[in-house]
């Protein structure tokens, strides 16, 4: 497990950032008071004890994480049944983009656990995020074109991975038009 440099008594078993280093997902374990303190520090970034960024590390790796605006984060926590360590709390802190695409910036993410799940299907995210209407049978050429232009990204963190769709580029319409003009995309399958 990773140890957070901002809080030694909290242990991280899953961490993921986007391509800019902003927190996408974090799973941490700790005692009730330690988790409450961490949450308070995350929600008060302008306070002297607030957390704007941190490093999560073990002996082999270190991840630098930027904490985005608290309005862009959600949290879920649960209590583990009694263990030899006492009452433990698991806290998930994650970007709202993981459960609701941002239609203004046209960005969305789908996460998965490395080694335990297959990569998620990116097509539903593209269909939901793209402001240009797309047909289902356009799937392969559109994914290939968007990937080639860097609008579909893949990131991996500690035990977690994600596929992201970033369609905020003004050239999305031009890309689809070019695919239609070259008859790569047609009305019929």
Q: Would the pLDDT of 92 be above 90?
A: yes
Q: Would the pLDDT of 81 be above 80?
A: no
Mean pLDDT computed over 142-171: 93
Distance CA 43, CA 50 (A): 7
How much of the chain, in percent, has pLDDT values that exceed 70? 96
Count each helix (H run) and each strand (E run) in the chain, helices first.
4, 10
**Interval 2-46: pLDDT, tens:** 999 988 789 999 999 999 999 999 999 998 889 999 988 888 867
**Interval 105-120: pLDDT, tens:** 999 999 999 988 788 9
Phi, psi of 174 (to 5 degrees): -65, -35
pLDDT band at 83 (very low <50, low <70, confident <90, very high): low
Q: Please tell me the predicted confidence (pLDDT) of residue 145.
A: 96
Q: Please tell me the predicted confidence (pLDDT) of residue 44.
A: 82
Q: Would the pLDDT of 141 be above 90?
A: yes
Buried/exposed code over 30-65 (b: 16+ C-beta within 10 A; e: otherwise): beeebbebbbebbeeeeeeeebeebebbeeeeebeb
pLDDT band at 95 (very low <50, low <70, confident <90, very high): very high
Q: What is the pTM of this model?
A: 0.85
Phi, psi of 141 (to 5 degrees): -65, -35
How much of the chain, in percent, has pLDDT values that exceed 90? 62
pLDDT band at 121 (very low <50, low <70, confident <90, very high): very high
Q: Would the pLDDT of 84 be above 70?
A: no
Lowest-confidence segment of 53-67, 69-83, 172-186 by average pLDDT = 69-83
Distance CA 123, CA 151 (A): 13
Distance CA 16, CA 97 (A): 13
Q: Please tell me the predicted confidence (pLDDT) of residue 71.
A: 86
């Amino acid at each position: 497990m990773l140890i957070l440099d901002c809080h030694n008594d909290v242990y991280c078993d899953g961490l993921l950032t986007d391509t800019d280093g902003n927190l996408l997902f974090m799973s941490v374990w700790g005692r009730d008071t330690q988790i409450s303190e961490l949450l308070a520090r995350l929600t008060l970034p302008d306070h002297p004890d607030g957390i704007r960024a941190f490093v999560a590390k073990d002996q082999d790796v270190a991840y630098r994480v930027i904490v985005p605006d608290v309005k862009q984060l959600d949290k879920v926590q649960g209590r583990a049944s009694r263990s030899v360590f006492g009452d433990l709390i698991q806290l998930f802190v994650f970007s709202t983009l993981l459960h609701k695409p941002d239609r203004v910036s046209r960005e969305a993410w789908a996460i998965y656990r490395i080694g335990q799940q297959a990569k998620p299907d990116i097509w539903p995210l593209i269909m939901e995020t793209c402001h240009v209407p797309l047909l289902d049978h356009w799937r392969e050429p559109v994914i290939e074109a968007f990937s080639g232009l860097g609008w579909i990204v893949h990131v991996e963190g500690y035990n977690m991975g994600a596929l992201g769709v970033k369609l905020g580029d003004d050239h999305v319409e031009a890309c689809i038009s070019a695919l239609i003009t070259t008859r790569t995309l047609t009305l019929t399958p």
